[in-house]
Structure 1
Amino acid sequence: MTMSPQLQDLSTSDDGFADTPKRREIIDGARQVFRAEGFDGASMGQIAQAAGVSKGTLYVYFQSKEDLFHALVVNDRREAAEHMFQLKEQAGRLETREMLCQLGESFITMMVRPEHIALVRMVMGAAEKLPHVGRTFYETGPCLGIRRVSEYLAREVEAGRLEIDCELDLAAGHFLNLCQGNLIKPQFFCSEKPPSKEEISSTVESAVTVFLRAFGPSAEHS
């Protein structure tokens, strides 16, 4: 999988702008307005008011509503990436099953956060008009997750703890999709309460069992 510049930037550095308190205040204000009004309904005046700045100050930091929306997506995806797929410190110290369970639970816990669900809805609503924003979200979300899981799976294959006979990106996608089970779609369409920790653990444990039956050592296939 080839990463775009946006994906590389998110995983290694900031988004190219100075991260000042004022800029964070503007993004926080924009988040409130975009969630309440959607992209089309939001105005720069409303965002300036929510952020507690003048429109002149707002335009110093962002040339347009489109630029501000893109910055919001990049900012939120960076924060999500910092909490998901934290593999380096624990990988190698845990059994494969335990590591996959922790990985899956971290992933789903982030996915069902109300603020994440709200961001996905905002991006989906604006993606047709702002396809570059949709692409940024996809590459700094699903693509980044698959890349990090693939790197972990590669180490497990090399150590002989997994036997994967397909592309590692495909296997990583299988794992993440299995972990979602029936937990994610109701959040998008039904406005349900986030699943409990117990529900997440149960779903992920089942996903790991299925994954290991497909790709675990030969003894787990029987």
Structure 2
Amino acid sequence: MSTVTDTAQRLRLECGFPDIPLASPRSRDRLLAVRDAAVAEFRLHGYLGGSVDEIARGSGVSKPTIYSYFDTKERLFLDAIGDALISAYTGLSPVGEWSSARTAREAVRAFLLDWARRLLSPETIALRRTVIGEAERFPRLASLWALTNATYGDRPLAEALTAMSRAGLLDLPRGDLPLRQLIAMAVGAPQLVATFRPADFDAAELPEIAEGAVAVFWSSYGKEDR
């Protein structure tokens, strides 16, 4: 798991995931081991089928210690899966520098490709299936995923596209339809295939998908290079 950033902490608190006070570095290491083992267990078996005994074995941390961090299995599930959701996005590169239509296109393409690769990794797809399966029981997880996606993905891309429009490189109508179209082509469509038809998904195609999405987007909204 990644270290907790200010943004990650804000997302957790905003969605009602309480902070866990830790007395020492050893306590932190144990907590990270428990989270990793819990994510692996819950991804395989879901909330109801997941075993705290197996999490204890997988983490090397005793059940009494686990319950000193999390007083219930429900809280353990929410914390571990919620932390993994945020970690899937942590480190997503900002939209890169640009000064022309060519470099702007490349910056957007690189951002979308990094985003797609993170979300469509086998581990994150398995996590997505877990959240979908448990969304009715744990709506806070669905809220956390949506907020995390907006914070690390939608908003930075929207800000970059707005700046490119102000610079005269794009001619965007009001509203977020162009943003939605671009994300759907580059991330949303392959994510559906990876989630529900994994045998038809090939991660090696993601660079071509990102390039094609940007080409279609620029053919509709791009202006001549200056």
Pairwise same-fold verdict (TM > 0.5)? yes
> Is the CA contact 2:158–2:179 (under 8 Å) kept in the aligned structure 1?
yes
1:200 lines up with 2:206 in the alignment: yes
Measure, in 2, the Cα distance between the counterparts of 1:164 and 1:8: 34
Which of 211, 215, 218 is residue 221 of structure 2 equivalent to?
Answer: 215
Q: Which amino acid aligns with 2:217?
A: F
Label 1:152 to 1:8 Cα distance change in 2 as closer, same or farther (>3 A). Answer: farther
1:7–1:55 Cα change, 3 Å = closer
Q: Name which of 151, 157, 170 aligns with 2:165.
A: 157
Does residue 173 (structure 1) correspond to residue 180 (structure 2)? The answer is yes
Task: Tell me the number of residue pairs that the alignment of Structure 1 and Structure 2 aligns.
Answer: 210
Contact 2:193 2:200 in 1 (8 A): no
Question: Where do 5+ consecutive residues of structure 2 fail to align?
Answer: 1-6, 23-27
Distance in 1 separating the partners of 2:180 and 2:130: 24
Tell me whether 187-196 or 18-27 shows the greater mean CA deviation: 187-196
**Aligned residue runs from structure 1 range 97-116, under 5 A:** 97-116=105-124
- Alignment pair present for 1:184 and 2:191: yes
| Secondary structure in 1 matching 2:98 | coil
TM-score (norm: length of structure 1): 0.82
For the Cα contact (< 8 Å) 1:34–1:42, is it kept in 2? yes
SS in 1 for 2:171: coil
How far apart are residue 23 of structure 1 and its match? Answer: 0.7
Gaps of 5+ in 1: 1-5
Q: SS in structure 2 opposite 1:83?
A: coil
Displacement after TM superposition at 1:25 (Å): 0.3
Instruction: Give the partner amino acid of 1:191.
Output: P
**Pairing of 1:81-160 with structure 2 (within 5 A):** 81-87=89-95, 90-92=96-98, 95-142=103-150, 144-160=152-168
Partner of 1:34: 42
Equivalent residue runs for 1:4-23 within 5 Å: 9-10=10-11, 16-17=19-20, 20-23=28-31
Shift of 1:82: 2.1
Q: Which moved more, 1:122-131 or 1:137-146?
A: 137-146
Contact 1:15 1:74 in 2 (8 A): no
Contact 1:77 1:141 (C-alpha < 8 Å) held by counterparts: no
Quote the Cα distance in structure 2 between the aligned partners of 1:201 and 1:207.
10
The letter of the residue matching 1:178 is M
When the two chains are superposed, the root-mean-square deviation of aligned CA atoms in Å is 2.9
How far apart are the structure 1 equivalents of 2:97 and 2:78?
33
CA contact (8 A) 2:108 2:214 kept: yes
Distance 2:92 2:179 in 1: 14
Q: 1:57 aligns with which of 60, 65, 81?
A: 65
Q: Post-superposition, which runs of at least 4 consecutive aligned residues in structure 1 deviate over 6 A?
A: none
Q: Distance in 2 between matches of 1:108 and 1:144?
A: 12
Task: Measure the CA separation in 1 of the matches of 2:19 and 2:166.
Answer: 36
